[in-house]
Amino acid sequence: MCSAAPQSDDILVVSGLVKHFGGIHAVDGCDFRIPVGSLVGLIGPNGAGKSTVLELVSGSYKPDRGTIVFAGEEIQGLEPNEVFDRGIARCFQIAREWPQLTVLENLLIASPVGGRDTISFGLFRRRRARALEREQRERALEILEKYRLYVVRNEFAFTLSGGQKRLLEFARIAMARPRLALLDEPMAGVNPVLQAEIERGIGELMAAGATVLLIEHNLGFVERLCHQVIIMAQGKVLAAGLMKDLRDNELVQEAYLGSVPGVS
């Protein structure tokens, strides 16, 4: 059961978050805040608990303890679809799609309206429903054009290349109009051309009003674009702030930055 929490300028507030898998303390008392309208990087060594945090925020995992407050409402324990309905969308380390649907259909089912299968849609008068369907289709086609996927709009999603599947994830997120986008290593395994496309896509999400929390190992990208950086290790937050300031933090250097080649 979710409950109201005091309003603040932070769209997401994570407090005392704990998630254990047997004897593994994946998240072990994690606390951080994400300001509205910001681009925040969540970094740390492998096994720090970063992806588990995103799973907890998105509803894929349920926390053992702690609270997750999104837009003034506690959402820990909600199902993923309930979290999505409140305005949180995410992409994954390995791009995911609905393979047996076309590229266009992948966007249409990500619409916040929810398509023909929802009860609310069925309450519209038939003429209004058809108009709404046209509007959503036109918007989906515009987004596919932006992400250079228009030419494959009628292809099944499983036929796309790895790079195209990554762009399709961003297009789906854009279609959902999220208030908070969770991005798990969006730059992983992509070439420089696609990296530029992803960077542009993140900018467009923010221009449309989304706050972005991303996990990323490309520290140059993180330092260049993120308003704030949160560094995790062993399931806890070590430090938060600007990357240029965190470089001088001894705990951070020991836990992460000192072990990354080329980072000083």
Q: What is the pLDDT of residue 251?
A: 75
Residue 15 Cα to chain centre, angstroms: 19
- Report pLDDT digits (tens) over 76-131: 989 998 999 999 998 866 567 788 889 999 998 887 654 444 445 455 556 666 77
Q: Cα 256–259–260 angle (5° rounding)?
A: 90
Band (pLDDT 50/70/90 cuts) for residue 244 is: confident
Asked whether residue 54 carries a pLDDT value surpassing 90, the answer given is yes
Q: What is the pLDDT of residue 124?
A: 52
User: Cα separation of 35 and 245, whole Å?
Assistant: 19
Domains of the chain are 37-60+78-97+161-259 (3.40.50.300), 99-159 (no CATH)
Instruction: Write b or e for each residue in 220-251: b if 16 or more Cβ atoms lie within 10 A of its Cβ, otherwise e.
Output: ebbbebbebbbbbbebbbbbbeebeebeebee
Q: What is the pLDDT of residue 152?
A: 93
Kindly report the three-state secondary structure assignment for every residue of 46-72. Answer: CCCCHHHHHHHHHCCCCCCEEEEEECC
Strand 39-43, strand 228-233: pairing = parallel
Asked whether residue 232 carries a pLDDT value surpassing 50, the answer given is yes
Residue 236 Cα to chain centre, angstroms: 20
What is the phi/psi pair of residue 130, to 5°?
A: -65, -40
H helix or E strand, kind and range, residue 173:
helix 162-176
